[in-house]
Structure 1
C-alpha cells in the first residue's frame, strides 16, 4: 500500500546566513543530518501549508509570525521513498532575529551561505539548496521530482509550476 507524507519547511535567512538544524541522532527521519526547520502538516493544515510552516517555525525556533518577513513558497518537492510518496512545501523567508529557542529535535545553527552545502544534508534537500543558491529567489514556484539522470544516478528534475490558464 502506498502512503503519503506531506511536510512543510522553511529556509530562513538572516543576512548571509541560513538557519539550519542538525537533527538529533534519535530522530526517525534523517537522524544526525542537517535540514531546514519544518515538519509534518497536521490534518487541519492539509490545505494550508503556509499555516503549517509558521507553526513549525514557532515550535522549533520560538520565532513568531511577525518576526518572519517575505515568506514565499519557493519549491514543492515530490519523491517516492519505498512505499511512501513524500510531498514537501519549501518556503523562503527572512528574520532579523538571530537568537532562537532550543528544540529537542536537534541543534539550531546559523550557517554562512557559502558553508551550507558542506554539511551532511539529505540528497534531495542538498540538490534543492544547490538549485536555490544558483538561481536565487524566484517569482514562480519550482517543482522538483526525484528520479534518475540519464546515467542512472539519482537526480532531481526541476520544472516551473505554471497555471496553463495564464499562458
Structure 2
C-alpha cells in the first residue's frame, strides 16, 4: 500500500542566481542536501499548489507575493520513494530583492546559475535543474516521472503536459 505526499516548490531567481537552501542535518527529507524552497501541502491546499508555494516561500524566506514576478508552474514531478508516491509541483519566478530571512530548515544562499549543478542535490531535482537550465522556461508544463533507462540506470522521463481537447 502506498502513501502519498504532495509538495510545492519554488525555483526563485534574482538576476543570474538561484535561491537554494542547504538543508539542516536535522531535517527528515534530504538532510544536508541542497534544495529549492518549498514544502508539504496542507489539507486545505490540496487543490491549490500555488498557495502552498507562496506560503512556503514566505515562511522560509520572508518574501511576499508582491516581491515575486512571473511565478508560474513549470514542472510536476512524480516518483515512488519508500512506499510513498511523491508528487511535487515546481514553480519558477523572479524576486525583486535578495535579502531573505533564515529559518531552522536550512541556510539560504544565492547560487550562480553555472554553479547550481555542482551541489549535492536529490536525484530527481538534479535532473529537473539540468532540464530547466538547458531548455529554459517553456510555454507548457513538463511532467517528469522517475524511472529507469533500458540499461536499468535511473532517469527522469519528460513529457510536455497538454490538453488533448484543445487540438
Output the TM-score relative to the length of structure 1.
0.99
In structure 1, the residue matched to 2:134 is 134
In structure 1, the residue matched to 2:108 is 108
Residue 51 of structure 1: SS of its match in structure 2?
helix
> Are positions 1:3 and 2:3 aligned together?
yes
Distance (whole Å) between structure 1 residues aligned to residue 13 and residue 111 of structure 2: 9
In structure 2, the residue matched to 1:83 is 83
Distance (whole Å) between structure 2 residues aligned to residue 42 and residue 96 of structure 1: 27
Gap regions ≥5 residues in structure 1: none
Residue 158 of structure 2: SS of its match in structure 1?
strand
In structure 2, the residue matched to 1:163 is 163
1:43-93 CA distances to partner (integer Å, 9 max, x unpaired)? 000000000000000000000010010000000000011210000000000
> Are positions 1:74 and 2:74 aligned together?
yes
Residue 108 of structure 2: SS of its match in structure 1?
strand
RMSD: 0.4
Residue 75 of structure 1: SS of its match in structure 2?
strand
Residue 118 of structure 2: SS of its match in structure 1?
coil
Distance (whole Å) between structure 1 residues aligned to residue 129 and residue 166 of structure 2: 28
Distance (whole Å) between structure 1 residues aligned to residue 139 and residue 50 of structure 2: 17
Within 5 A, what are the aligned runs for 1:15-54?
A: 15-54=15-54
Distance (whole Å) between structure 2 residues aligned to residue 116 and residue 151 of structure 1: 28
Distance (whole Å) between structure 1 residues aligned to residue 96 and residue 70 of structure 2: 12
In structure 1, the residue matched to 2:149 is 149
In structure 1, the residue matched to 2:124 is 124
Deviation at 1:150, TM superposition (A): 1.2
Distance (whole Å) between structure 1 residues aligned to residue 139 and residue 58 of structure 2: 25
> Are positions 1:13 and 2:5 aligned together?
no
